[in-house]
């Protein structure tokens, strides 16, 4: 029997969004043909044999989604003007051209007097995409009507408004398992005939990596984080390492960014790693030093290249050194190494090992161009 629903209905339940390129959080680039990695060493470290088998095939999420999310900065204090101004700012700053094309908010009839359809038309006119927020429960986390047991009706309305993205939360879920609550909205969205990116916000509590790939285009890995070093390093929410092929969603006020923030968000070389068409997730290869706080992350890219991140979680500066065979490269062949933050090629002849001095709580990111003579074992 369908649960009764408050007649507050939909204009109260939504969170609006703007985005362009989408992914699947824990396994991007799924439906495209995965080109084989060039060596046995790389194939062992970065296995892609299961890519595409456990993911939703709705034509979206070939690379990680990029965009803006209103929640971190504005929470519920948003309105139609904020969204329109942010859409303008994404375009005027050039961030939209770099791929930041989805943005998200919480609408209300008083603060969105023109309605969601009119706002969607405005956003689409900027070359951006619009997303909303709802909940796989009877209420949202802000105690507004959720979509549980009303998936078909709500999905149809979302589609009629021209929505491109749905973030689907986990509050007031009546104790029903996520594996039972989230698929109905997937099916409802698909039945509308409109491509709508489906982002599961299940909080990572019920092992979504084991089942969410076939349900949504991306899924939440942890609960909320706060702006403390300990909390950020223990679990990622909206911004994971770029090398990990996670979504890049801006959470600040785009209209009032510092120069430093803009330089970080607009680094084309770093974004290209995140959006690489090969779509193979980077991974933590090793941790050294006290409690493994000197970390090496790496992942293969298209064009026989390898992205490498040296990350210092320690409480003092560290010289992080990596032996090239440990990241899947041949120890006797030369490699070209490019620093993605300095935007310069450091060397054309790195052989055997590579290292760099990394400041406290800092990271450095490189691309190694694989030599033609890489060993096959």
- Give catalytic residue positions: 169, 224
The distance between the two most distant Cα atoms of the chain, rounded to a whole number of Å, is 70
Specify whether the backbone of 291 is left (phi greater than 0), alpha (psi in -120 to 50) or beta: left
Q: Count Cβ atoms within 10 A of the Cβ of residue 121 and give its class: 0-12 exposed, 13-18 middle, 19 or more buried.
A: middle
Number of helices (H), then strands (E), belonging to the chain: the values are: 10, 16
Joined tokens for residue 267: 């680094």
Q: Give kind and range of the element (H or E) at residue 129.
A: strand 129-135
Cα separation of 311 and 356, whole Å? 10
CB atoms within 10 A of CB 343: 10
Q: Coil, helix or strand for 20?
A: coil
Cα separation of 169 and 147, whole Å? 10
Cα separation of 74 and 71, whole Å? 5
Contact 326, 45 (CB under 8 A): no
Q: Are strands 248-250 and 218-219 parallel, antiparallel or unpaired?
A: unpaired
Q: Coil, helix or strand for 353?
A: strand
Joined tokens for residue 75: 């929470």
Q: Give kind and range of the element (H or E) at residue 185.
A: helix 178-191
Cα separation of 292 and 312, whole Å? 9
Q: Give kind and range of the element (H or E) at residue 283.
A: strand 283-288
């Amino acid at each position: 029997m369908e649960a009764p629903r408050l007649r507050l209905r939909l204009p109260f339940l939504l969170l609006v969004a703007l985005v362009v390129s989408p992914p699947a959080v824990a396994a991007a680039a799924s439906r495209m043909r995965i080109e084989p990695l060039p060596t046995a060493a790389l194939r062992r470290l970065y296995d892609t044999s299961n890519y595409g088998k456990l993911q939703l095939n709705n034509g979206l999420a070939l690379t990680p989604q990029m965009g803006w999310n209103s929640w971190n900065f504005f929470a519920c204090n948003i309105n139609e003007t904020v969204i329109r101004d942010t859409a303008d700012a994404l375009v005027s700053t050039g961030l939209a051209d770099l791929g930041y094309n989805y943005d998200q908010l919480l609408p209300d009839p008083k603060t969105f007097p023109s309605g969601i359809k009119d706002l969607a038309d405005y956003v689409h006119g900027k070359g951006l995409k619009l997303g909303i927020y709802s909940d796989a429960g009877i209420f949202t986390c802000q105690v507004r009507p959720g979509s549980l047991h009303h998936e078909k009706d709500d999905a149809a309305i979302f589609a009629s408004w021209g929505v491109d993205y749905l973030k689907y939360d986990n509050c007031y879920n009546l104790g029903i398992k996520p594996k039972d609550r989230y698929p109905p909205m997937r099916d409802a969205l698909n039945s509308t005939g409109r491509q709508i990116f489906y982002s599961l916000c299940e909080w990572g509590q019920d092992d979504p990596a084991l089942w969410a790939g076939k349900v949504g285009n991306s899924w939440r890995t942890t609960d909320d984080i706060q702006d403390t070093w300990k909390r950020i390093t223990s679990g990622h929410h909206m911004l994971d390492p770029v090398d990990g092929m996670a979504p890049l969603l801006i959470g600040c006020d785009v209209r009032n960014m510092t120069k430093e923030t803009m330089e970080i968000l607009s680094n084309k070389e770093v974004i290209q790693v995140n959006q690489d068409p090969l779509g193979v997730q980077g991974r933590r290869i090793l941790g050294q030093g006290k409690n493994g706080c000197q970390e090496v992350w790496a992942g293969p890219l298209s064009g026989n290249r390898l992205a490498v991140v040296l990350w210092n979680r320690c409480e003092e500066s560290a010289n992080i050194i990596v032996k090239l065979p440990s990241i899947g490269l041949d120890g006797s062949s030369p490699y070209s190494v490019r620093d993605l933050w300095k935007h310069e090629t450091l060397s054309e002849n790195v052989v055997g090992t590579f290292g760099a001095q990394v400041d406290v709580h800092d990271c450095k990111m490189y691309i190694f161009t694989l030599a033609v003579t890489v060993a096959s074992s």
